[in-house]
Amino acid sequence: MYDYISIHSENYMKKIKSKDLEQYLTSQLGFTTESHLRFSKEVSGEFISLTGIPANSNGNYAINTLEGVEEINLIEIDVPMNLDDTLELVLSDIANAIVKEFSWIIDEDHVLN
């Protein structure tokens, strides 16, 4: 089990194109593309990993690969194990920037405490 921040559209209904997510994350938030819909960014020696995911209307998913996925409605940001105040602030800023850009919400069950 790992901690993560979950960001999604209201009721998982609105989707964004994979290419739009990649463009925003790489050009505006400084992420590097690791593979299709998987991104990372180094902050203070720790890596922040982010994944775009197609989910059903309940937010559930079961996928073997993200290759070929053209639209997503869920983003998960993995919280690094060595979380400090600086990293927590950066994670919060990233999550809030995504929420603002795509008019999505942060899931109350998966948020930094």
Beta-sheet strands, E only, within 25-100: 32-35, 38-43, 46-53, 71-72, 74-78
Q: Does pLDDT of 112 surpass 80?
A: no
pLDDT tens-digit series, residues 25-77: 999 999 999 999 999 999 989 999 999 999 998 888 878 889 999 999 999 99
pLDDT tens-digit series, residues 2-24: 589 999 999 999 999 999 999 99
Contact 32, 41 (CB under 8 A): yes
Of the candidates 56, 54, 43, 20, which has an alpha carbon nearest to the alpha carbon of residue 94?
A: 43
Contact 1, 110 (CB under 8 A): no
Could you give the CA distance from residue 26 to residue 36 in angstroms, rounded to a whole number? 13
Rounded to two decimals, what is the model's pTM? 0.90
Of the candidates 36, 17, 40, which has an alpha carbon nearest to the alpha carbon of residue 94?
A: 40
Query: What is the per-residue DSSP string for 69-80?
Result: --EESEEEEEPP
What's the pLDDT score for residue 31?
A: 98
